[in-house]
A and B are shown apart, each in its own frame.
Chain A
Amino acid sequence: GENVEQHPSTLSVQEGDSAVIKCTYSDSASNYFPWYKQELGKRPQLIIDIRSNVGEKKDQRIAVTLNKTAKHFSLHITETQPEDSAVYFCAASKFDGRGSNYKLTFGKGTLLTVNP
């Protein structure tokens, strides 16, 4: 099955700096890559996603890049703010022929701390 590795497990930055979180996946058939943000005690919330037919997607201060050849994708957060502090999860999925759906395999998460 799919295996998703996420690095680093913890990341501490100063407010205003950029943060980069990287993920690799094992199944070359994976074609959908969402990123979730989870604040302490709360639910994971989708912040951005990318499909395999594009290499980069941007939404204000966050961006995701995808390298299909190398099977890795990254989350970039610019001009970080204290409210960006949370656990970030990457995930990969592919079409599941049995169920006609997309099962997500999650990375282990990155605890991002933005220091004021």
Chain B
Amino acid sequence: DAGVIQSPRHEVTEMGQEVTLRCKPISGHNSLFWYRQTMMRGLELLIYFNNNVPIDDSGMPEDRFSAKMPNASFSTLKIQPSEPRDSAVYFCASSLRQGVGQPQHFGDGTRLSIL
């Protein structure tokens, strides 16, 4: 089991640039979650998908943020245009969507720095 795979691990870019974060969930998992982690706000859920369909995007901070899941093995989180306050660690997690409380498995995260 390769686990949840995220890329890139680190991203440094200038304000105003487009940023695309990528995630490959664990094979067979049908739910995918995007989180943002900062010291001030902790771990925040941005959006989650079930069977590639976005279910709840109420955590997406602004229209500058968008996420897609074109198939069961790939998802992207895009920020356009990026701003310094978007600097954070972005985690992707996946789980099975069945039963009571399926554990979420996290990727190693993308550390994003917007200059």
Binding site for B on A (CB under 8 A): 31-32, 34, 36, 42-46, 49, 51, 89, 93, 95-96, 98-109
Chain A CB within 8 A of B60 CB: no
Assess the B97–A103 pair: CB atoms within 8 A.
Answer: no
Complex CA distance for A103 and B104, rounded to whole angstroms: 10
Known: A34-B101, A99-B48, A105-B45. 5 other contacts (CB 8 A): A45-B106, A46-B104, A51-B100, A106-B43, A107-B42
Assess the A101–B31 pair: CB atoms within 8 A.
Answer: yes
Please, which residues of chain B bring their CB within 8 A of the CB of A34? 101, 103-104
Assess the A89–B48 pair: CB atoms within 8 A.
Answer: no
Q: Across the two chains, which residue of chain A brings its CB closest to B53? A: A99
Assess the A101–B48 pair: CB atoms within 8 A.
Answer: yes
Q: List 13 A-B contacts (CB under 8 A).
A: A34-B101, A34-B104, A46-B103, A49-B103, A89-B42, A96-B56, A99-B48, A100-B50, A100-B97, A101-B50, A103-B45, A104-B104, A107-B42
Complex CA distance for A34 and B95, rounded to whole angstroms: 13
Binding site for A on B (CB under 8 A): 31, 33, 42-43, 45, 48, 50, 55-56, 91, 95, 97, 100-109
Complex CA distance for A99 and B97, rounded to whole angstroms: 9
Q: Decide: A106 near B42, CB < 8 A? Known: A32-B100, A46-B104, A101-B31.
A: yes
Complex CA distance for A108 and B28, rounded to whole angstroms: 30
